[in-house]
């Protein structure tokens, strides 16, 4: 007799959909299992103003296949020229659910990000006043800071001062990768949460580098030591409401991933739910999977949980396509490196 597990329909609190032909191809991969997602604004040009977010939302909904239900939760890209009044108006309208902070140069399409944090102080203060969350890519970009240390340095040098100087600011530490970040989240009594990606629960830096470079495991923030991966698994499976799923599913064509200077990102939208069920089962925590995927995120964002549900069934290993065809070129689906026995019925 097969085992089943029913969950409130999940949400993805950190998702890249891109635009154009790529958007049309990857959106169904998320909408198949997820009801909502926080949509990252790092397009070219970035989604900076409320009008940009409204136009992008319209393009997303136009690309949604008939018969699928999905709600994009829009964000704005924080720049040193961001208008606090525009941010507040976009939030008041119900369109924008968060603002995303990219340190300049930290990741894909982040050139328009923040270099001088004093220039965004007024925007952050307004966000604290209205309760609008700040989603943070938590890495410094200094060339003299080792890439494996950039998250910890960001917490000390940037994030903690921002939080101390902006009381009431609600912050999501995006795609945390270290025990240091997990402990920092646990140290807060309010206004701080963190997303954890599917791939950071599965891979460590050896998966990227040992035995030859694996471009499809290269992501930013880069995967760290095994001790940090285990710390992330412990946080995700703990049931602690401050941790929730943000896949950071980031489609790049194979041609762009395999360049001498290849793009960072793992495309996990297709098989995330199956992978997470496997990870949580191995941690003897299937009873806490729903909290991570479906309950904790809405609680932080002050949104209702989804009314509908999905049911997973455990059986023989399930196969997923190795690639997704897009109008821009093939995108490789993340390979966890182990069999997946849970699938959405």
Tens digits of residue pLDDT in 232-290: 999 999 999 999 999 999 999 999 999 999 999 999 999 999 999 999 999 999 999 99
The whole-number average pLDDT for the span 59-85 is: 97
> Is pLDDT of 298 > 50?
yes
pLDDT band at 51 (very low <50, low <70, confident <90, very high): very high
> Is pLDDT of 43 > 50?
yes
The whole-number average pLDDT for the span 181-201 is: 98
The whole-number average pLDDT for the span 29-45 is: 97
> Residue 83 catalytic?
no
pTM: 0.97
The whole-number average pLDDT for the span 142-152 is: 96
Mean model confidence pLDDT for the chain: 96
Domains of the chain plus CATH, in order, are 3-344 (3.20.20.140)
Q: Which of 248, 254, 308, 335 is catalytic?
A: 248
Tens digits of residue pLDDT in 79-133: 999 999 999 999 999 999 999 999 886 666 565 788 888 899 999 999 999 999 9
pLDDT band at 1 (very low <50, low <70, confident <90, very high): very low
Looking at residue 283, what is its pLDDT? 98
The whole-number average pLDDT for the span 69-79 is: 97
Q: What is d(CA 32, CA 123) in angstroms, rounded to the nearest whole number? A: 36
> Is pLDDT of 302 > 50?
yes
The whole-number average pLDDT for the span 72-76 is: 98
């Amino acid at each position: 007799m097969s085992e089943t597990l029913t969950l409130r329909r999940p949400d993805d609190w950190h998702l890249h959909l891109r635009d154009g032909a790529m958007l049309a191809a990857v959106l169904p991969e998320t909408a198949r299992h997820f009801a909502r997602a926080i949509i990252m604004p790092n397009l070219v040009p970035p989604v900076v103003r409320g009008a940009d977010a409204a136009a992008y939302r319209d393009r997303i909904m136009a690309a949604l296949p008939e018969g699928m239900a999905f709600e994009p939760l829009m964000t704005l890209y924080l720049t040193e020229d961001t208008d606090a009044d525009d941010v507040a108006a976009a939030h008041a309208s119900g369109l924008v659910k968060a603002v995303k902070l990219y340190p300049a140069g930290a990741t894909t399409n982040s050139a328009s990000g923040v270099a001088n944090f004093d220039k965004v102080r007024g925007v952050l203060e307004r966000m604290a006043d209205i309760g609008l969350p700040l989603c943070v890519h938590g890495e410094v970009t200094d060339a003299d800071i080792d890439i494996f240390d950039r998250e910890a340095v960001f917490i000390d040098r940037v994030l903690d001062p921002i939080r101390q100087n902006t009381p009431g600011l609600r912050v999501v530490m995006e795609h945390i990768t270290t025990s240091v970040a997990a402990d920092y989240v646990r140290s807060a009594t309010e206004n701080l949460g963190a997303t954890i990606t599917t791939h950071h629960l599965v891979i460590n830096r050896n998966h990227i580098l040992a035995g030859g470079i694996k471009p499809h495991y290269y992501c930013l923030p880069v995967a760290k030591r095994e001790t940090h991966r285990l710390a992330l698994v412990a946080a995700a499976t703990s049931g602690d409401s401050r941790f929730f799923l943000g896949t950071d599913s980031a489609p790049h064509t194979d041609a762009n991933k395999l360049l001498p200077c290849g793009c960072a990102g793992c495309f996990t939208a297709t098989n995330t739910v199956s992978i997470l069920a496997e990870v949580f089962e191995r941690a003897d925590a299937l009873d806490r999977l729903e909290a991570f995927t479906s309950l904790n995120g809405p609680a932080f964002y002050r949104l209702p949980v989804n009314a509908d549900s999905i049911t997973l069934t455990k059986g023989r290993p399930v196969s997923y396509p190795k690639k997704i065809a897009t109008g821009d070129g093939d995108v490789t689906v993340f390979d966890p490196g182990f069999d997946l026995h849970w699938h959405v019925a």
